[in-house]
Amino acid sequence: MNSVIGKRLDGRYEITELIGVGGMADVYKANDIMEDRVVAVKVLKDEFSNNEEFLRRFRNESKAIAVLNHPNIVKIFDVGFSDEIQFIVMEYIDGITLKEFIEQQGVLRWKDGVHFITQILRALQHAHDKGIVHRDIKPQNIMLFPDGTIKVMDFGIARFSRVDGKTLSDKTIGSVHYISPEQARGETTDERSDIYSVGIMFYEMLTGKKPFDGDTAFAIARKHTDETAIPPREIMPSIPEALEEIILHAMERFPDRRYQSASDMIKDLDTFKMNRSVSFGYKYGQRNSDNESSTKYFKPVASKPQPKYEYDDEDDYDDEDDDDDDEYEVKKRSYIVPIMLGVTAAVVIIAAVIIAMSVIDKLGTAGSTGTVEIQNFVGKDLLEVQEEFGDKLIFDTSNEYNNEYDEGVIFWQGDTQGKIVKEGYKMSVKVSMGSKKTTVPDVKNLTFDMADNELQKFDLISAKVTMNDENIEEGRVIKTQPASGEKVSMGSTVTVFVSTGPVSTDVKVPDCQGLSKNDAIKLLKSNKLKYEINEVEMEENKGKVVAQSEDPNTWVPKDTIIVLGISTGEISPSEATLPILIPAGAHGSYRIDVYLNGNIAVTQKISKAETVAGGTANITVKGKKTATYAIYITNDESRKTVENYIKFDVDFSTNTVKKIGDEKTKEFTNITPTTTTTTTTTTTTTTTEAVTEPDEPDEPQDTEPAETQPPVDDGGEDQQQYDENEQVEQ
């Protein structure tokens, strides 16, 4: 099975190493790449994967087990089925098993034992409340954290490993130490079987020994069914008496005599913790009636051989103690012979006395007989009643099925309690044959109403429970508990699990706005959503989410792509067109200079053919926000310039252009252009570049608009003319 290492199961579980080997499955450590976490994956062994009945039950039961949610139960995340492999994905526990801890410690302090057992019982009560019985409670299936927290795992798996319900082999020897007597006999098991196993574990924790042991699984199983364990205080006297009572009460061989629920046992443990000197009054190995004799304690050494149970694998059972039996019989005879001689003599004497008294009584009373008061025999075992009253009453019995009383128990008597009758009186009683059995029918894939009708035909009562199922359509039966084919009492309630369809895949969209890109991506992944990034040009909230394609708190299918708008923190330059009106009287070729903040932003040359008075030259400028541009036109031949021909306010965000000043065409005046200032030099250089490469004008400055200034000198006629024209435009 090590070939599994390195594989990816179900497209998401990457197997990294083998961490445990069991009788049914191997456990691997794996990485869940979708959830980014470490998990444990239990992979079913090949010999079980080929058993169709086993697989059917494994699949159905595993889905039910996955609903368990308790702090003391190992969480089941996923169950996978295919033709090649069956696996269960569980919570990964970084700890040791309780078995390893017991082996390390030898004997646990009773306080630690109470702490561990209480957690185990809480986990079992949670499972029992949901109709799930573990059936394989043992230290190997209990995980222990360093802080003392207990987690129970492998719910329901033991049931799968024994599909026939009876077969025991040496492979099960690890479990058979903790198996309940009813499991060993192949009988129906319930919550009380788990409680028995808890009692066995508790015994082992506090004594360091298993109550029943042997060389084979069959030998151990027989001790569970036939023997009573040595009281733990005989092994470890420091164990409190009340705690011994709790342990032995949980280990009663008959289910109706032990704790009936995990919560009952927890209550006794809580009572003990409040008062360690409490006495519960449980009589281990005894019947409930005070008239019943107690069962003797059987010690493993020199125990008398018991009748052999007929297991399916009986031929494998080695009855190896024949010689010891002979020795036992020889020893027994050596004591019995003299005892029997004495008993025989006593019997002869007593018989003679009885005969003599009988003769005297007959002579003196003329044949009168004694009387007896009839007691209430309802609820008592017939054999026990006959043993006690058989010499005084004659019981006329009839046998009937009865759901309230166990087999062999009187449930009706014809005469009322307290009636006084003569000895030898014949009275009628009805004795229970137990519940009449029926077989749970297969109602899978039926509607609940159809299943209910079918169950009624078998005298069964249905109880509806809904659950998700990936394979069964909504409204159809997934399974029943007890499962189809099992024998149950007529009138029993059968839980019918009805599908509500696959688990909803819709997830809620989180609010990502205002988060950084990385934080938003993590949030979407944690909610099982995918993402795309779309950059949004804006100057605020650089690197943060400013928009998302789905509104927050809405529900969408899992893996939906959410488009996140991420602010770039800046905007790209926009274009605007300045319509330049050609002045009247224009002739020849001209150059148009567009100034921004005193610097040439764009230069464009107009050829003679394009110089048409009253025409328009369109010049494109680029920028952000708003800007104010000043336009100047220079004649290439005369080098004359029109000062401050017109101004434009441009709003790039709305792509609007607004003219400022006199819009009438101005005639050229003979003004010599300024060539001495630094600005003019820069302008000339810029113009040269613009004329050389007219298709690539200088990039405008990304600055706030400022008062535009023409290229003028510090004084002179040019400056004076400029000032006058400026005043006219204003």
Tokens 């015994």 sit on residue: 203
Whether 315 is catalytic is no
Residue 456: CB atoms within 10 Å: 11
Q: Would you say 242 and 279 are in contact if contact means Cβ atoms under 8 Å apart?
A: yes
CA nearest to 43, candidates 20, 66, 65, 60? 20
DSSP string, 86-124: EEEEEE---SEEHHHHHHHHSS--HHHHHHHHHHHHHHH
Q: Tell me the β-bridge partners of 144.
A: 96, 150
CA nearest to 90, candidates 147, 30, 134? 30
For the chain, how many residues are written?
Answer: 730
Question: Tokens standing for 711?
Answer: 């290229």
Cis peptide preceding 338, ω within 30 of 0? no
Q: Would you say 497 and 529 are in contact if contact means Cβ atoms under 8 Å apart?
A: no
Contact residues for 580 (Cβ-Cβ < 8 A; gap 6+): 592, 616, 617, 618, 619, 631, 633, 645, 646
CA nearest to 68, candidates 467, 478, 528, 496? 467
Give the containing element (helix H, strand E) for 20: strand 13-21
Tokens 């008061």 sit on residue: 373
Q: Which residue in the list 136, 381, 593, 718 is annotated as catalytic?
A: 136
What three-state secondary structure class fits 471? Answer: coil
CA nearest to 471, candidates 447, 446, 428, 500? 500
> What is the arrangement of strands in the sheet containing 561-567, beginning at the earlier edge strand?
530-536, 561-567, 545-548
Question: Tokens standing for 178?
Answer: 């903790």
| Measured CA distances, 385 to 20, 256, 380 (Å) | 54, 20, 7
CA nearest to 465, candidates 494, 495, 436? 495
DSSP string, 245-311: HHHHHHT-SSGGGS-SSHHHHHHHHHHHHH-TT------TT--SSTTSPPPPPPPSTTPPPPPPP--
User: Environment class of residue 454 by beta-carbon count within 10 Å: exposed (0-12), middle (13-18) or buried (19+)?
Assistant: middle
Question: Tokens standing for 446?
Answer: 């039926």
Catalytic positions, written as ranges: 136
